[in-house]
Amino acid sequence: MELEIQVSVTDYLLGESKNSHKSEFWAGQVVAMAGASPQHNIVVKNLIFLLESCLRHKDCLVLPSDMLVKVPACKSYFYPDVVIVCQKPEYEENQGVTALLNPTIIIEVLSPSTAQKDNTDKLECYLNLQSLMEYHLVDSRKKYVKSYYKQNEKDWILHIYPNTEEKVRIGECELEFKEIYWKTNL
């Protein structure tokens, strides 16, 4: 029988401020993050480039995977692959670690090791963020995007982009599949 050791938020953040690697915090459990595949990194890079180009002169900030996001409803802290904030960013400073409190859009790029949690546990957590308007899951193994768009305080609409000719709407941006997956082998 494996014993799960509960860690406090303070201990997690203190450890995170000293670690050379990133870990996420899942309601008392520290989960080390594995390195990403080249495909995953290319898709993340493409998304950041495309979104930054589109939103450059808007009141939005595009942030990479080093931006920790606090999710109070799940007592968790996550490192999404891409975060967009389209309002004044609010941060929590704790134990030398900065966490974003008000993301507008979160994008997770799916890998074999993350797809299940990104589609279930993280989905439930993220959709509880009051500031969040969109959550996107972009597959790194095939051309596939699943997007959740907030309609009101309780309702979300799911849109799956199965047609690679269709443009993916992320915030005010419309991205082409070929651009999202540019320089991948897909």
| Structure confidence by residue, pLDDT tens digits, 149-175 | 999 988 999 999 977 888 999 999 999
Tell which residue, 134, 160, 161, 137, has the closest CA to residue 148. Answer: 134
Burial tier of 81 (Cβ tally within 10 Å: 0-12, 13-18, 19+): buried
72 SS3 class? helix
Q: What pLDDT is recorded for position 1?
A: 45
Structural domains of the chain sorted by starting position, each given as residue range(s) with its CATH number in brackets: 35-180 (3.90.1570.10)
Tell which residue, 117, 118, 116, 129, has the closest CA to residue 156. Answer: 129
Averaged over 19-40, what is the pLDDT?
83
Model confidence pLDDT, tens digit, residues 55-87: 999 999 999 999 999 999 999 999 999 999 999
